[in-house]
Amino acid sequence: MTTKYGEGDCYVAASRFLLMLGSGANAHLVHGEVEGQGRIAGVRYGHAWVEINGAVIDPSNGRNLCMNRERYYRIGKIAAAKVRRYSFREMVEATAQFGHYGPWENL
């Protein structure tokens, strides 16, 4: 998926990762607003990742990043008010309804 800030596959990668885990994993797809680093430092943009058991798995752009949820939110300057969690079932239903992996809501 292309965003106005560059190339990214976060919505597709995170959704596919949750599909791979399956409905019994008690994991959630998360869409949120993060603050960029490096060449896009200070830029806020939509992003997607998976949360399971207090950890974040961010499979976007082939990184397969895994870290503690609190640390991930701190690094990305993620505000709880700018986050939407989807259960496995909600993710499947939204993908079918909208015909794409997200984002499905304005945060």
22-64 tens-digit pLDDT: 999 999 999 999 999 889 999 999 999 999 999 999 999 999 9
Residue 68 Cα to chain centre, angstroms: 15
DSSP letter for each residue of 55-69: EEEE-GGG--EEEEH
DSSP state of 36: -
Q: What is the mean pLDDT of residues 7-36?
A: 94
Looking at residue 1, its pLDDT comes to: 34
Task: Count Cβ atoms within 10 A of the Cβ of residue 17 and give its class: 0-12 exposed, 13-18 middle, 19 or more buried.
Answer: buried
Instruction: Say what the pTM is.
Output: 0.89
> CB 13: neighbour CB atoms within 10 A?
23
